[in-house]
Structure 1
Amino acid sequence: MSFRIRAARADDLQHLYEMAKLTGGGFTNLPPDRDALRVKLARSEEAFSRTTQGVEDDLFVLVLENIRTGEVRGTCQIFTQVGQRWPFYSYRIGTLTKHSEELGRTFRAELLNLTNDLEGCSEVGGLFLHPNERAGGLGLLLARSRYLFIRAHRARFAERVLAELRGIIDEGGGSPFWDGVAGRFFGMSFQEADQFNAIHGNQFIADLMPKHPVYIAMLPDTARQVIGLPHPSGRAAMRMLEREGFQYEKYVDIFDGGPTMIAPTDRVRTIESAADAEFTRRGEGGEDMLIATGQLKNFRAAYGKVTRNDDGGISLDAAGAESLGVTVGDTLSYVAR
């Protein structure tokens, strides 16, 4: 397979911009705005250049590259610690129970509580695969490469990692959840608020959002029915996250009501199951594996066929070795595909 994951560069801007225009809205981490994307790439370059250890406010942007053509056909992002530049807001679904002796009845109401509970977590997000490449396991390559990157730089990531899934967006690009909740207080459409957030951050949420709990029963049916549901295009991503050990713990996005998935970093399946070995020779055949090598801006990941050798090293097929650009003696991380 002629694809690999690598660190994003400044000259990837046009490719990212063209992909951002295909997202259809509600994709905060990949806005169709050149200046915002340029800032992301500059911030990512700074993160890749920092060699000191410890959890800071870093953003790493990775891209999926066709090594035959040089085209970028997908992207993903990793945030080392959310909630540092500006607060990280979520709605947490809670329950309020009240009992009436006179009526002999107990009432339970579900509430949306505005919270910063998830501040300090790492985040995987910004995953987008070009529509023409949605076959051959490339989406899985993009998603799981993030976990191998975290594993390779574990000291720079938090104890928990989250993933926000895009919520339900209607045919007109609007959000039923936004219209039923926050939109009533902001005087702007979902698309306007989403674009503003992508470019300027969400401090305006802190300034304008009511701090009191919102009773879900008082919301319109259109808003209630989409709380915690992923966009249809994100259902496969939700299943992938669940297979990695992420769980939905009743936190939802404040803009579109999409679910937030959470996992202990060291219990993410790819991180927990991966192993390291020295690349000792090229071979033929072997087990299908996801393989990564290199540190920071030299990080690469790709699919390949691995054979475990008696000397403790591994053999890698020619196509995998070419995709990764590795030579004998390099250390590889690998995990079952």
Structure 2
Amino acid sequence: MLVVRPITPQDYAALYTCAVESGHGFTSLPVDERLLRRRIARAQEAFAREQVSEPGEEGYLFVMEDTATGEIVGCSGIEAAVGLTDAFYHYRLGKVIHHSKELDVYNALETLTLCNDYTGVSELCTLFLREPYRKNMNGRVLSRFRMLFMAEFRKRFSQFAIAEMRGVSDADGQSPFWGWLQKHFFSMDFTQADYLTGIGEKTFVAELMPRYPIYVKLLDEAAQAVIGKVHENTRPALRMLENEGFRFRGYVDIFDAGPTVEVEVENIRSVRDSRRLPVKIGVVTDGQAYIVCNTRVADFRAAQARIHVRDDHIVIDAESAAGLRLKADDAVRIVAL
């Protein structure tokens, strides 16, 4: 059984493996022992806070564990509110009009403007599932359970949520968009800039990034072509988020120009469609597949399970109940898978 649970210090080696396997451009999971251990410690602090009245510096990091072997097969996270301490940068796509009635010239030109517009919103982040386990809808579970967590513990998160999608880069981790910025404003390659941001060293962004809007037409064709586009490996994740109600509103990453998608949390499909019901443990035959999670923070568990859903309760089998640490009459939050 694959169960999602809060990360612990004992999961460090597995998290490091996920960081290595995630490859270039995965900013929230850099190959850096100090940062990874710090993220685990932050997560433990967040899960330990029993009473939270508003989103703050909490960073919730989860792992998916194969309970039969103890192997960690993936990870997933939520930042309660971004940019409260370290600036959270994006480029905002805009438009300016150059018009001369006298000369009968009208040009609508796209611009990129450095901004911090998403400060304070919640972020779905750090989603990575190891290659052998990308089947049986495991990826959907590892992403969507976070929406149930947000629905259950609503006060811990902002009114809005975003997700940054990995932009286009080649097998060596080089980004066409960053190539243009590097040539004109920086003296470091994409992987170094991405790594520095991942470990929280963001001062160079404010110091070296162009301070004024950039005309998109001034970028070379390769850079223009990838603005708002996702890495090939990220397309399934983007489609899933779009099905949940996330939309692209013109904000892109400052390094690879990958799109950031946003949604009002109350309008996320899995939040809106989820139900909170008590549990009865019994025999389940021909049940429907659901994502099921318990309603505890520090002892949180989520998994895919086949259950029977009644008007006022669900029926779950004993093995699944044990994996989710449920006993009779406990509450669960569910959504159809």
TM-score bucket (shorter structure): over 0.9
In structure 2, what is the equivalent of residue 172 of structure 1?
Answer: 172
1:204 CA displacement = 2.0
In structure 2, what is the equivalent of residue 3 of structure 1?
Answer: 2
**What pairs with 1:205-216 in structure 2 (closer than 5 Å)?**
205-216=205-216
Q: Which amino acid aligns with 1:9?
A: T
Report SS of the residue matched to 1:120.
coil
CA contact (8 A) 1:76 1:125 kept: yes
Give the Cα separation in 1 of the matches to 2:59 and 2:12: 16
In structure 1, what is the equivalent of residue 89 of structure 2?
Answer: 89
Report SS of the residue matched to 1:296.
coil
Give the Cα separation in 1 of the matches to 2:24 and 2:123: 20
CA contact (8 A) 1:76 1:142 kept: yes
In structure 2, what is the equivalent of residue 291 of structure 1?
Answer: 292
1:329 CA displacement = 1.5
Report SS of the residue matched to 2:93.
strand
Give the Cα separation in 2 of the matches to 1:161 and 1:203: 25
In structure 2, what is the equivalent of residue 188 of structure 1?
Answer: 188
CA contact (8 A) 1:183 1:189 kept: no
Give the Cα separation in 1 of the matches to 2:114 and 2:214: 9
Equivalences, count: 335
In structure 1, what is the equivalent of residue 279 of structure 2?
Answer: 279
| Correspondence 1:308 to 2:309 | yes
Deviations 1:34-67 (A, max 9, x none): 1110010011111111122221111000110000
In structure 2, what is the equivalent of residue 157 of structure 1?
Answer: 157
In structure 1, what is the equivalent of residue 328 of structure 2?
Answer: 328
1:320 CA displacement = 2.5
Give the Cα separation in 2 of the matches to 1:176 and 1:250: 19
Give the Cα separation in 2 of the matches to 1:30 and 1:184: 28
In structure 1, what is the equivalent of residue 13 of structure 2?
Answer: 14
1:235 CA displacement = 0.4
Give the Cα separation in 1 of the matches to 2:133 and 2:314: 30
Report SS of the residue matched to 1:222.
helix
Report SS of the residue matched to 2:22.
coil
In structure 2, what is the equivalent of residue 259 of structure 1?
Answer: 259
Gaps of 5+ in 2: none
CA contact (8 A) 1:76 1:143 kept: yes
1:233 CA displacement = 0.2
Deviations 1:201-223 (A, max 9, x none): 32321122121001000001110
Give the Cα separation in 2 of the matches to 1:191 and 1:44: 26
| Correspondence 1:39 to 2:77 | no
Gaps of 5+ in 1: none
In structure 2, what is the equivalent of residue 221 of structure 1?
Answer: 221
1:324 CA displacement = 1.2
* CA-atom RMSD in angstroms: 1.2
CA contact (8 A) 1:86 1:203 kept: no
Deviations 1:208-257 (A, max 9, x none): 21210010000011100000000000000010000000000010000110
Q: Which amino acid aligns with 2:245?
A: G
In structure 1, what is the equivalent of residue 231 of structure 2?
Answer: 231
Give the Cα separation in 1 of the matches to 2:165 and 2:70: 29
Select between 259-268 and 295-304 the one with higher mean Cα deviation: 295-304
Aligned pair in 2 of structure 1 residues 11, 172: CA closer, same or farther (>3 Å)? Answer: same
In structure 2, what is the equivalent of residue 24 of structure 1?
Answer: 23
Give the TM-score, by structure 1 length. 0.97
CA contact (8 A) 1:65 1:71 kept: yes
Give the Cα separation in 2 of the matches to 1:199 and 1:268: 30
Deviations 1:252-311 (A, max 9, x none): 00011000000001111111110011102323122211100032221111111221346x
Select between 152-161 and 321-330 the one with higher mean Cα deviation: 321-330
Give the Cα separation in 1 of the matches to 2:12 and 2:91: 33
Report SS of the residue matched to 1:77.
strand
Give the TM-score, by structure 2 length. 0.97
Select between 135-144 and 293-302 the one with higher mean Cα deviation: 293-302
Q: Which amino acid aligns with 2:225?
A: Q
Q: Which amino acid aligns with 1:163?
A: A
